[in-house]
Amino acid sequence: DAGVTQSPTHLIKTRGQQVTLRCSPISGHKSVSWYQQVLGQGPQFIFQYYEKEERGRGNFPDRFSARQFPNYSSELNVNALLLGDSALYLCASSLRYGINEKLFFGSGTQLSVL
Amino acid sequence: RKEVEQDPGPFNVPEGATVAFNCTYSNSASQSFFWYRQDCRKEPKLLMSVYSSGNEDGRFTAQLNRASQYISLLIRDSKLSDSATYLCVVNRGSGNTGKLIFGQGTTLQVKP
């Protein structure tokens, strides 16, 4: 069975540009979360979606937005890129929405902003 | 102050050694706790959940102390393949399963 898949794997953008990252959850999983991991730090929560509704948002500016589609895949959009947005962006899926649900991560999209 | 704090290390140990990592969390409302393992620039993978009663999975033992708000991970008989970054993770609760709070991670290097 396929795990969480993310695309693209690597991306290079310049300041001010916009980027869209994509995630397909494990088959049957209905919840998708996005995390940002800067080098040397742990992942930081950006968004969670469940059944196409936003269920949580981290401390990120409005330049960050996301959505979940009827097939439970998800996109993360970042506008007006800054150098500080350079990071590994991780998508995670879980079967349901609950306190003890285990998250499964994709291998991430490495974004470099020049 | 970070909500989840870990000593970043690195911890350099010989094969066969026993090594212990601790982490502290600041939000007493935290409801579930985990250790994740992350290999260099790859995705985090769940190593084990952590319960107050303590739990063991082979060479790995995790413990939670709610009163002191700390979590520990003990690795016995270290293998070269245990070299990785270990992330202490807390779920703050309110049903928000996705909002995991990660520590900075502790790097373990097991030497032959």
Distance between CA atoms of residues B14 and B101, nearest Å: 31
Q: Does B58 touch chain A (CB under 8 A)?
A: no
Q: What is the pLDDT of residue B110?
A: 97
Of B30 and B94, which is predicted with more confidence? Answer: B30
Q: What is the pLDDT of residue A95?
A: 87
A88 closest CB neighbour out of B41, B45, B100: B41
Whether A73 contacts A66, CB under 8 Å = no
Are B99 and A33 in contact (CB < 8 Å)?
Answer: yes
Residue numbers in B near A45 (CB within 8 A):
98-101
Q: What is the pLDDT of residue A92?
A: 94
The alpha carbon of residue A26 is apart from the nearest alpha carbon of chain B, in Å, by 14
pLDDT tens profile B18-74: 999 999 999 888 888 999 999 997 999 999 999 888 899 999 999 999 999 999 999
Whether B86 contacts B37, CB under 8 Å = yes
pLDDT tens profile A44-75: 999 999 989 998 899 999 999 999 999 999 99
Looking at the predicted structure, is the pLDDT value of residue B95 above 60? no
Residue numbers in A near B32 (CB within 8 A):
99-100
Instruction: Say whether A83 sits in a helix, a strand or coil.
Output: helix
- For strands B100-102 and B45-50, give the pairing: unpaired
Instruction: Say whether A85 sits in a helix, a strand or coil.
Output: helix
> Best mutation site among B25, B33, B43 for testing chain A: the one with the most A CBs within 10 Å?
B43
- Weakest mean pLDDT among A30-39, A83-92, B8-17, B86-95: B86-95
Mean pLDDT of B3-29: 94
Are B99 and A88 in contact (CB < 8 Å)?
Answer: no
Q: Does B95 touch chain A (CB under 8 A)?
A: yes
Are A45 and B105 in contact (CB < 8 Å)?
Answer: no
Distance between CA atoms of residues B56 and A94, nearest Å: 24
Structure tokens at B64: 């939670």
Instruction: Say whether B64 sits in a helix, a strand or coil.
Output: strand
Distance between CA atoms of residues A26 and A30, nearest Å: 9
Looking at the predicted structure, is the pLDDT value of residue B96 above 80? no
Mean pLDDT of A85-105: 87
The beta-strand segments (E) located in A4-108 are 5-7, 10-13, 19-24, 31-37, 44-50, 53-57, 64-68, 74-78, 87-94, 104-105
B44 closest CB neighbour out of A50, A96, A105: A105
- Weakest mean pLDDT among A71-80, A105-114, B94-103: B94-103
Q: Does B27 touch chain A (CB under 8 A)?
A: no
- What confidence category does residue B98 fall into, taking pLDDT thresholds of 50, 70 and 90? low
- What confidence category does residue B100 fall into, taking pLDDT thresholds of 50, 70 and 90? confident
Output DSSP code: residue A52: T
